[in-house]
Amino acid sequence: MASHILAIDQGTTSSRAIVFRSDISIAAQAQQEFQQHFPASGWVEHEPEDIWTSTLATCREAMSRANVTASDIAAIGITNQRETTVVWDRATGHAVHRAIVWQDRRTAEICARLKADGHEPLISARTGLIIDPYFSGTKVAWILDHVPGARERAERGELMFGTVDSYLLWRLTGGKVHATDATNASRTLLFNIHTGEWDDDLLKLLRVPRSMLPDVRDSSASFGTTVPELLGGSIAIRGIAGDQQAATIGQACFTPGMMKSTYGTGCFALLNTGTTAVASKNKLLTTIAYQLNGQRTYALEGSIFVAGSAVQWLRDGLGLIKHASETGSLADENDTMQSVYLVPAFVGLGAPYWNPRVRGALFGLTRNTGPAELAHAVLESVCYQTYDLWAAMRADWPEAKETNTVLRVDGGMTASDWTMQRLADLLNAPVDRPMIQETTALGAAYLAGLGAGVYPEPARFADSWRLERRFKPNMSDATRTRKLKGWSQAVKGVLASDTGED
């Protein structure tokens, strides 16, 4: 009996594939980076063919390393960079434009116009989102308006839209299945998270033809089978979830009040609010955490655009380190008499501020400020931004204060003990790092394995979650208060720089 699960983890800078065993241990994995395209300031694109070829190559490599064949794989699960938008030809499968990445800000003008025309209350009420270039809906509209003939072709039913999961599913099934799951659909500005359906009013508002849209299914469902020649045999595809929701599942945050934060290029925190879609008063997003057996579970989400990419800036932009792992030890050399703050608004500020126009700034520089102080400021900036999300979530959902929330963390930056300890200190709450760090891929694997009967129901799966280390706060209240006050002042300084022009 097939007892392995193949998880596809298609990310912003690389594609990965991991083969999991029936006990959720990892048999093998493979990863391949692909090219990033920056055709204009604030624009970020991927070549869809690069996404596809790197995904296929890593699947084959991971299976080879695990010494398994298609007959050993019970199911495939897909998790993906969310909001990144692909539009392709229904007949040929060829994309009509490069994929517009979630980080891309080119639709700021469209968003500003929608806000000025008073549409944000309707959009927020139905989607749980705010109007921002981050989401897929305005990206689709931009492609239809800027690729010659695209809008006419879309209206004739010749073009298809999908987030990366839909595009990969289409390719894996040989063009037989055009579908997505509820978590990815909930990030498009086009989906009503309360009814669980594409919303005709929003489609009309953003001028996106319904014929372009994928079918929306549970996160654990039947999504067809792969074309045999791709992976040496047909394999069922049984799970799909956006990367942050997949990480929430991989962290076994199935109980209302549980919270996870993923630290990759950006940082994304989700708080499970159960069957209640909590409307945020603090500019957080209301999103679908997962959908199983037709039942939607909701979450409050805060998105930080710059986390790990701030460390990359230290390495690649400033040349202060050669490897990301050096940052913590360098930060330890910080002059404690200095209070240097970095507000890393390199592409604007995400939650809870949502200002795409402001840019990053350093505060508190002295003549003695050097590499150690900058490294210290970079790592602390990630912790401060997480605190802002934490505070907003607790304000939006008072029940969170009563649950003594422990933050479960994952992603590349969690390897830094320094950062995780400072995070616990500033939150004044425990921070738990799991044994299995590949929680995003594990979430996708779990959804597929649940559908294939390899993995148990959520409650039993949660019992398998294992703690690697708990970081407990040990900072004095006075120090914490002083540092958070300094951060607040720095953010206010950045926000004050907004001229109101896009």
Please calculate the CA angle 460-8-55 and round it to the nearest 5 degrees: 175
Buried b / exposed e across 207-238, counting CB within 10 Å, b at 16+?
Answer: ebbeebbbebbbbbbebbbbbeebbbeebbbb
Predicted pLDDT at 164:
97
230-286 per-position pLDDT tens digit: 999 999 999 999 999 999 999 999 989 888 999 988 899 999 999 999 999 988 999
- The Cα diameter of the chain in Å comes to 67
Contact 417, 468 (CB under 8 A): no
The pLDDT value recorded for residue 66 is 96
What whole-number distance in Å separates Cα of residue 33 and Cα of residue 11? 9
Percent of the chain with pLDDT over 70: 98
Residue 192's CB is within 10 A of a number of other CB atoms, namely 18
Print burial letters for 28-63: b (CB count within 10 Å at least 16), e (below 16): bbbebebeeeeeeeeebbbebebbbebbbebbebbb
Classify residue 455 as exposed, middle or buried by CB count within 10 Å of its CB (0-12, 13-18, 19+). buried
- pLDDT at position 314: 87
d(CA 326, CA 40): 32
pLDDT for 401 equals 63
Q: What is the mean pLDDT of residues 467-485?
A: 94
Q: How far apart are CA 241 and CA 217, in angstroms?
A: 10
**CA dist 489 to 107, 343, 362, 376, 492, Å?**
30, 10, 12, 18, 5
Find out whether 119 and 131 touch, Cβ atoms under 8 Å.
yes
Judged against a pLDDT cut of 90, whether residue 403 lies above it is answered with no
In whole angstroms, give the CA distance from residue 312 to residue 281.
33
Strand partners, 36: none
pLDDT value at position 41?
A: 82
What is the CA 269 to chain-centroid distance, rounded?
A: 9
Calculate mean pLDDT across residues 36-46. Answer: 89
pLDDT attached to residue 404: 63
pLDDT band at 225 (very low <50, low <70, confident <90, very high): very high
- Structure confidence at residue 55 (pLDDT): 97
Q: What is the mean pLDDT of the chain?
A: 92
Residue 400 has pLDDT above 70, yes or no: no
Residue 134: pLDDT band (50, 70, 90) is confident
Least confident of 71-80, 183-192, 408-417: 408-417
| Average pLDDT of the segment spanning 302-321 | 88
Per-residue confidence (pLDDT) for residue 271, from 0 to 100: 93
| pLDDT beyond 80 at 501 | no
The reported pTM is 0.88
Average pLDDT over residues 16-40: 93
- Strand, coil or helix: what is 305? coil
Check whether 502 has a pLDDT greater than 60. no
**DSSP at 350:** -
Residue 420 has φ and ψ, to the nearest 5°, of -65, -35
The token pair at 81 is 């960079």
Which is more confidently placed, 122 or 498? 122
**For the residues 419-434, what does the mean pLDDT come to?**
94
Q: Contact at 8 Å (CB) between 312 and 403?
A: no
Q: Quick check: 420 and 379 in contact, CB under 8 A?
A: no
pLDDT in the model for residue 155 = 94
pLDDT greater at residue 310 or residue 138: 138
| Count of positions (residues) in the chain | 502
Name the phi and psi angles at 86, rounded to 5: -125, 135
Distance (Å, whole) CA 349 – CA 385: 10
Tell me how far apart the alpha carbons of residues 148 and 130 are, in angstroms, rounded to a whole number.
29
pLDDT at 320 over 90: no
- Please name the residue that has the structure tokens 């955490």: 289
Query: What is the CA angle 423-428-433, rounded to 5?
Result: 45
pLDDT, mean of residues 3-10: 96
Query: pLDDT band at 354, cuts 50/70/90?
Result: confident
> Mind giving me the DSSP string for 45-78?
EE-HHHHHHHHHHHHHHHHHHHT--GGGEEEEEE
User: What's the CA gap between 144 and 444, in Å, rounded?
Assistant: 31
Compute the average pLDDT of residues 151-180: 96
**pLDDT beyond 90 at 214:** yes
pLDDT score of 288 more than 70: yes
The C-alpha atoms of residue 502 and residue 150 are separated, in whole angstroms, by: 26
Q: At residue 346, does pLDDT exceed 70?
A: yes
Section 371-389 average pLDDT: 93
